[in-house]
């Protein structure tokens, strides 16, 4: 991240330019309404481009071989009949008249922690923005569903946390992944920089509504959280922030493989 992208002095409150919002829970999601409030407290130029329906678990998929419909649903708000990654692509290249300065993705209905981030459409939208050279943050709320009261921690601390990250700055091709714990906002200790825990969705297969139809069953959460991980931070009353890298190369192991010549 270059200095002309933002002031890296964490002691200075920078004013925000254009902020683009996206999510994976859909244009009508409660978490997106929470994110609108957070963004409007930081900027007068806020845009929303979000999926028309829920795309949880879509990861970084994009829509190929079919049309994507874009609808103007309100002032500077658009729905897209595609994935979260589609929303960022169409926002930057079709909908907006100029690029945003920051993308905020979320606030997701539930946590995006551990290995689950590989499935997350919320994280995927932030990564797609990062690929386009736009700073982006993914935000999720533990326990968040349809009741706005479940987002008290995100509402209380979201704006100051985004401001803190923005002032501090972060390198290119990196996505801060933020997870808010549930509970009383006044009991939250602060933000803890954490690792991703080794934890994924449970692979339980249940029968579907018809013969030959099936669905993924209840999610399984392992009881223990690894020290220093995102799940441990949330358990202990911290907002977890995990820096996610875009480079999937295992650089430390790259020389352990012998080349092959033909």
| pLDDT at residue number 215 | 84
| Rounded Cα distance, 231 and 237, in Å | 10
Buried b (16+ CB within 10 A) or exposed e, 162-195: bbebbbebbeeebbbbbbbbeeeeeebeebbebb
| pLDDT at residue number 2 | 36
The DSSP bridge partners found for residue 53 are none
Annotated binding residue 247: no
Q: Helix, strand or coil for residue 123?
A: helix
| pLDDT at residue number 202 | 64
Architecture in CATH of 18-256: 3-Layer(aba) Sandwich (3.40)
Q: Helix, strand or coil for residue 82?
A: coil
H or E element at residue 214 = strand 214-216
Q: In tens digits, what is the pLDDT along the chain, a chain of 262 residues?
A: 333 334 333 444 557 999 999 999 999 999 999 999 999 999 999 999 999 998 888 888 999 999 999 999 999 999 999 999 999 999 999 999 999 999 999 999 999 999 889 999 999 999 999 999 999 999 999 998 889 999 999 999 999 999 999 999 999 999 999 999 999 999 999 999 999 998 766 678 889 999 999 887 666 666 788 899 999 999 999 999 999 999 989 998 999 999 999 9
Annotated binding residue 25: yes
Q: Please enumerate in sequence order all residues whose Cβ is within 8 A of that of 65, keeping only pairs 6 or more positions apart, or say none.
A: none
pTM surpassing 0.95? no
Annotated binding residue 56: yes
Annotated binding residue 43: no
8 Å CB contact between 178 and 137? yes
């Amino acid at each position: 991240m270059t200095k002309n992208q933002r002031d890296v002095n964490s002691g200075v409150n920078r004013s925000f330019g254009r902020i683009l919002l996206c999510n994976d829970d859909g244009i009508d999601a409660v978490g997106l309404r929470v994110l609108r409030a957070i963004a409007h407290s930081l900027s007068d130029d806020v845009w929303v481009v979000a999926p028309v329906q829920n795309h949880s678990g879509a990861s970084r998929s994009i829509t190929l071989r079919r049309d994507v419909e874009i609808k103007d649903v309100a002032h500077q708000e658009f729905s897209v009949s595609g994935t979260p990654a589609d929303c960022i692509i169409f926002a930057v290249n079709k909908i907006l008249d100029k690029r945003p300065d920051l993308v905020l993705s979320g606030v997701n209905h539930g946590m995006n922690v551990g290995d689950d981030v590989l499935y997350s459409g919320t994280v995927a939208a932030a990564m797609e923005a990062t690929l386009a050279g736009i700073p982006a943050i993914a935000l999720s709320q533990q326990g968040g569903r349809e009741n706005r009261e479940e987002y008290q921690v995100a509402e209380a601390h979201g704006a100051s946390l985004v401001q803190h990250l923005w002032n501090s700055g972060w390198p290119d091709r990196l996505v801060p992944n933020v997870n808010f714990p549930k509970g009383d906002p006044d009991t939250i200790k602060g933000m803890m920089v954490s690792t991703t825990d080794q934890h994924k969705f449970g692979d339980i297969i249940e029968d579907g509504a018809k013969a030959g139809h099936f669905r993924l069953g209840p999610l399984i959460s392992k009881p223990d959280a690894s020290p220093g991980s995102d799940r441990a931070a949330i358990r202990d009353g911290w907002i977890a922030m995990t820096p996610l890298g875009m480079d999937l190369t295992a650089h430390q192991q790259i020389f352990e493989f012998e080349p092959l010549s033909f």
